DNA sequence: TTGCTCCTCACGTCACGTGAGGTGGC
DNA sequence: TTGCTCCTCACGTCACGTGAGGTGGC
């Protein structure tokens, strides 16, 4: 599971200790056992940590909010009231938009960095071709 | 300077202690004094740390390589031999390309994350408009 | 003179890394 | 049986945070 998610066993145990992920079930013996869904969730956490640089506390809050939204989704499926369904959907939309803004601004920053490097590259190649022409 | 570079005084002192940035000159009194060039260099370090998640050891190596290339640039300007100038430029090109690959793959990862979030957003808005039409 | 920032230790914290010593599945 | 991975402490490390106590410029 560590390999699949791009981390180490120690990190997974640490996240379990913090409550960032649920305690894994143990097989006969003491080995932790994970389902596919657990792997997905962990991979997503690692991804947000690495790409956005979120702290484990921020990730905890995000996971908590995610759990609250999962609870809402159950109510959503149970409910027939359009007014309530609308409210739940709008809350989900707000949550997604918050994340999108964060990710988008990150991407802009990286893009800017890439542009600057690209410009320097062009400068060097220009000088090289000038050298060649003499 | 901490505010300008998006860090804290403590972090700047720590980087100085590690040799990641040069020891700042002191004014009369003991206050550290920085030039514009120092601020630029520090800002660049903070940027690479935050956007690419580089460790301070990796950044040290990068700064070292940068210093070596600065030395080469001095030779470059001193030299008249086209062969030597070409060699220096090609080395610079390789260095830039390495960084570009790293930054580019990062941007692709973020882009992918943004796409996934965007798809989920579309799904929610679609459901909302379906609700409205009834 | 009062407030604020700077300074240097030095201990604390976050997010794990790394053995030490022992157990379980192919 | 041999090798490998897993397990639990528990101490170590990296990258700073955070007072404690003191000094310097507007």
d(C-alpha B76, C-alpha B71), whole Å: 9
What's the Å distance between residue B45 CA and nucleotide C8 C1'?
25
d(C-alpha B105, C-alpha A22), whole Å: 31
Strand D closer than 7 A to residue B61 Cβ? no
- In chain B, the residue whose alpha carbon lies closest to the alpha carbon of A125 is B93
Query: Which residues, 6 or more positions from A42, have their beta carbon under 8 angstroms from its beta carbon?
Result: A1, A5, A7, A12, A15, A21, A34
What's the Å distance between residue A44 CA and nucleotide C12 C1'?
31
Q: Which tens digit of pLDDT belongs to each residue from B82-93?
A: 888 888 899 999
d(C-alpha A89, C-alpha A115), whole Å: 38
Q: Which tens digit of pLDDT belongs to each residue from A76-92?
A: 788 778 888 888 899 99
- Write down the pTM of the prediction: 0.90
d(C-alpha A98, C-alpha B4), whole Å: 26
The mean pLDDT of A23-30, rounded to a whole number, is 87
On chain B, the residues whose CB falls within 8 A of the CB of A86 are 128, 131
The mean pLDDT of A15-30, rounded to a whole number, is 91
- Give me the pLDDT at residue A40, please: 95
d(C-alpha A66, C-alpha A81), whole Å: 23
Q: Using beta carbons and an 8 Å cutoff, which residues of A are at the interface with B?
A: 47, 50-51, 53, 82, 85-86, 89-90, 92-93, 96-97, 99-100, 103-104, 106-107, 109-111, 113-114, 117-118, 120-121, 124-125, 127-128, 131, 134
On chain A, the residues whose CB falls within 8 A of the CB of B107 are 107, 110-111, 114
On whether the CB atoms of residues A60 and A75 are closer than 8 A, the answer is no
d(C-alpha A82, C-alpha A76), whole Å: 10
Residue B96: which of A97, A100, A121 has the nearest Cβ? A121
On whether the CB atoms of residues B56 and B20 are closer than 8 A, the answer is yes
- Give me the pLDDT at residue A134, please: 59
Q: Which nucleotides of D are covered by protein (CB under 7 A)?
A: 6-8, 10, 14-18, 24-25
CB-count burial class (<10 Å; 0-12, 13-18, 19+) for A70: exposed
| pLDDT values of chain B reduced to their tens digit, one per residue, 134 residues | 999 999 999 999 999 999 999 999 998 878 999 999 999 999 999 999 999 999 999 999 999 999 988 888 888 778 778 888 888 899 999 999 999 999 999 999 999 999 999 999 999 999 999 987 76
Task: Please tell me the number of Cα atoms within 13 Å of A105 on its side-chain side.
Answer: 6
- Give me the pLDDT at residue B28, please: 81
On whether the CB atoms of residues B78 and B88 are closer than 8 A, the answer is no
- Give me the pLDDT at residue A82, please: 82
DSSP label at B32?
E
- In chain A, the residue whose alpha carbon lies closest to the alpha carbon of B129 is A86
d(C-alpha B71, C-alpha B5), whole Å: 26
């Amino acid at each position: 599971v560590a390999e699949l998610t791009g981390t180490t066993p120690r990190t997974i145990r640490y996240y379990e200790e913090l409550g960032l992920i649920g305690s894994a079930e143990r097989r006969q013996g003491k080995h932790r056992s994970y389902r596919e869904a657990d792997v997905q969730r962990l991979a997503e956490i690692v991804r947000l940590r690495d790409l956005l640089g979120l702290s484990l506390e921020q990730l905890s809050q995000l996971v908590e909010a995610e759990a609250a939204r999962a609870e809402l989704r159950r109510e959503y499926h149970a409910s027939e009231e359009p007014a309530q369904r609308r409210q739940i959907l709008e809350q989900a939309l707000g949550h997604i938009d918050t994340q999108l803004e964060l990710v988008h601004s990150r991407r802009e920053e990286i893009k800017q960095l890439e542009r600057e490097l690209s410009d320097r590259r062009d400068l060097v190649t220009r000088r090289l071709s000038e050298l060649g022409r003499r």
